[in-house]
């Protein structure tokens, strides 16, 4: 794990980063080089929304990443359709937050989805953006009491087997979604106004790799 100073981080041209004039109160970059291969990384909590068997979030070797040779992967291939494996970073909670990640969808017959969650209260209540290589789209949802509702969508190329950048910014009731540095859409929703955790997600039988997870928190006025 690498902790970068905010003053250094905002000067870097980060792929998938949500543009903002606000100064982060804190900035954290999580790569997986120091973590044990074959195990879940410490300080991350795994959960499951929906049904099916156990999730499988583990650190793997992947030399194709631009940020090192180790990545975080969701490896379960359970094909239960309404199934959302979660992996969130336990030490940080925030309301106004920008989260970015590099992701590589690899396989899945039901879905090939990779995404980000913010304002996660528990496994059944959070916001989520996901990119799907089978559908070539990016969608934003709220998960409320375990029931998912779509809030926005955009068609976009999401090639399987390639690294890409996904970004989600939450500020007040406004949410901004980016793919590879391009703003796809913004949407307003007041359902979850309080601070929560941020992290990663997949869907159904999706196998995906993740790297270079960045979490920037902002002072709430």
Where residue 155 sits, what CATH number does that domain have?
2.60.120.560
Residue 128 lies in a domain: yes
The domain of 65 spans 6-217
Q: What is the pLDDT of residue 61?
A: 98
**End-to-end Cα, the chain, rounded Å:** 29
Query: Do the domain assignments include residue 78?
Result: yes
Mean pLDDT over each residue of the chain, to the nearest integer: 91
Using alpha carbons, select from 139, 142, 143, 120 the residue that is nearest to residue 131: 139
State how many domains the chain has: 1
For the stretch 41-100, pLDDT in tens is: 999 999 999 999 999 999 999 999 999 999 999 999 999 999 999 999 999 999 999 999
- The C-alpha atoms of residue 124 and residue 117 are separated, in whole angstroms, by 12
- What global pTM score does this model have? 0.89
Instruction: Indicate the pairing of strand 113-122 with strand 197-201.
Output: antiparallel
| 158: CB partners within 8 A, 6+ apart | 105, 112, 131, 132, 133, 135, 136, 137, 138, 164, 179
In a domain, 1, yes or no: no
For the chain of 221 residues, list the mean pLDDT of each consecutive stretch of 10.
Answer: 30 37 83 95 97 97 97 98 98 97 98 98 98 98 98 98 98 98 97 98 98 93 61
191 contacts 144 by C-beta, under 8 angstroms: yes
Whether 95 maps to a domain, the answer reads: yes
Residue 88 lies in a domain: yes
Q: Is residue 189 part of a domain?
A: yes
Among candidate residues 145, 137, 91, 89, the one with its CA nearest the CA of residue 117 = 89
């Amino acid at each position: 794990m690498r902790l970068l100073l905010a003053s250094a981080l905002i000067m870097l041209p980060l792929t998938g980063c949500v543009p903002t004039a606000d100064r982060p109160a804190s900035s954290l970059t999580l790569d997986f080089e120091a973590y044990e291969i074959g195990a879940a990384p410490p300080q991350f909590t795994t959960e499951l929304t929906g049904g099916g068997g156990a999730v499988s979030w583990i650190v793997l070797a992947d030399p194709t990443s631009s940020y090192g040779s180790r990545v975080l992967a969701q490896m379960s291939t359970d094909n239960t359709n309404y199934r959302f494996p979660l992996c969130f970073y336990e030490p940080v909670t925030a309301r106004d937050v920008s989260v970015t990640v590099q992701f590589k969808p690899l396989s899945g017959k039901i879905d090939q989805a990779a995404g980000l969650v913010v304002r996660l209260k528990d496994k059944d209540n959070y916001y989520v953006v996901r990119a799907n290589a089978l559908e070539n789209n990016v969608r934003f949802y709220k998960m409320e009491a375990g029931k998912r509702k779509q809030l926005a969508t955009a068609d976009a190329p999401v090639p399987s087997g390639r690294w890409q950048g996904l970004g989600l910014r939450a500020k007040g009731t406004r949410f901004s979604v980016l793919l590879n540095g391009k703003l796809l859409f913004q949407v307003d929703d007041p359902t979850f106004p309080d601070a929560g955790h941020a992290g990663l997600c997949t869907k159904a039988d999706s196998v995906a790799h993740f790297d270079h997870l960045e979490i920037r928190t902002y002072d709430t006025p």
